[in-house]
Amino acid sequence: MRRPLLILVAAGVLAAALIGLVVREDRARTAGTEVLLAMQPLDPRSLLSGHYVIVDIVHPVPGACPLSGRGRDGWIALSPRGRTHEVTGNGATREAAARKGRLAVRGAAYCVSGGGPQEIVQLRLRGVDRFHADQDEAQSIEKALDASRTGPAQVFAIVSVGADGQARLKGLEVNGRRTELSWF
């Protein structure tokens, strides 16, 4: 009788661990500071892991590149500009990055040529990679991303920056309509 009980206890612990992980991530996502970050279109989509959109965060740089060092993974400083946030600096430590912006978040950033006189900043946030959606939703997001190639950004990543400096994706805002990750 002992072995069946052991199996059930082990399975229960493992299921509880998985549930706990999901609940913890949801709580951290809800409790963090919400920021809006402009996205740019990026191909392709994978057919194997369902429909999803790669979250590629970029914005133009008004003046000189605000980053020191190129592409180093560390801490990125974000500051509000209108209703969105933009990269205003980086640092090897959280304190160094926090001196250059309102928020410090874990990730990496790069200044790249935008093809014109203006440089653009590309932001890679640790913990923010892709947004899974059903086929219809993924296609409408893709359409909005394509439209933002020639016009102003229409798709924004809604990111929650937790007390631990970790970014978590809350959802996307597409043409003013929010699609948030929830239990339903």
Partner 1 sequence: MASYRTRLSQDLDRWIAAGLVPAASREAMLAGVEEPRRVDAATALAVVGALLAGAAVIAFVAANWDGLARIVRFGLILAAFAATAGGGAWAAWKQRPVLTNSLLALAALIYAGAIGLSGQIFDIAGHPQAALRGAGLAAFVLALAGRSSGAAIVALALIGLGDMAGGGPGAPRDLWRWEAAAAPAGMALAWFWRSRPLAHAAGLAIVIAWLTLPGERDSWRMLLTAVVFGLLAGLARWRRDEPVARDLLGWLIVGALAAFALAGAEAGELSLVHRGALLLLSAGVVGWGRHDRHDLLTAVGVIGMLGTVSLILFDLGLGLMAAAGVFAVCALTALGVGLALRRSAPP
- Determine the size of the site formed for partner 1 (CB under 8 A): 41
Sign, CA torsion 26/32/33/35: negative
Q: Tell me: does residue 184 bind partner 1 (CB under 8 A).
A: yes
Q: Which of 15, 31, 42, 92 binds partner 1 (CB under 8 A)?
A: 15
Q: Tell me: does residue 21 bind partner 1 (CB under 8 A).
A: yes
Q: Which residues of 89-103 are buried (b: 16+ CB within 10 A; e: fewer)?
A: bbbeeeebbbebbeb
Over the window 36 to 75, marking each residue x when it contacts partner 1 by CB under 8 A and - when it does not, the resulting string is -------------xxx---------------------x--
Q: Which residues contact 60 (CB under 8 A, 6 or more apart)?
A: 114, 118, 119, 120, 121
Q: How far is the CB of 184 from partner 1 (least distance, A)?
A: 4
SS3 69: coil
CB atoms near residue 125 (< 10 Å): 24
Residue span binding partner 1 (CB under 8 A) among the ranges 22-30, 76-84, 86-94, 147-155 = 22-30
Q: Which residues of the chain form contacts with partner 1 (CB under 8 A)?
A: 1, 3-11, 13-15, 17-19, 21-22, 25-26, 49-51, 73, 108, 124, 126-132, 134-135, 168-169, 181-184
